[in-house]
């Protein structure tokens, strides 16, 4: 059995997560935000009631349509 793969949070990911948080706080009617980085990953911010879920998805493994379909 292979060990689970981990995800290393890069400075770019951390910056993107902070930007998503600020956007979701600034615009309370927005429930979903999808962003793509230049270094091969998608970040999704989804507001659910009073909580926000963040998911990082490797871009090479998923298209935006696939990512959106998994969160609807």
Tell me which of 9 and 20 has the higher pLDDT. 20
pTM over 0.85: no
What pLDDT score was predicted for residue 49?
87
pLDDT in tens, 17-72: 999 999 999 999 999 998 888 777 888 899 988 899 998 887 666 676 776 776 66
What pLDDT score was predicted for residue 10?
84
Query: ∠ CA 41-46-50 to the nearest 5 degrees?
Result: 145
> Tokens 């998503």 identify what position?
20
Distance between CA atoms of residues 36 and 59, nearest Å: 8
Write the DSSP assignment of 15-35 as a string of letters: HHHHHHHHHHHH-TT--EEEE
Cβ-contact 43, 17 below 8 angstroms = yes
């Amino acid at each position: 059995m292979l060990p689970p793969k981990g995800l290393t949070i890069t400075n770019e990911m951390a910056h993107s997560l902070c930007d998503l948080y600020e956007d979701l706080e600034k615009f309370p009617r927005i429930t979903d935000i999808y962003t793509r980085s230049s270094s091969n990953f998608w970040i999704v911010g989804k507001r659910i009631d009073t909580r926000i879920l963040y998911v990082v998805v490797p871009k090479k493994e998923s298209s935006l349509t696939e990512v959106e379909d998994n969160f609807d």
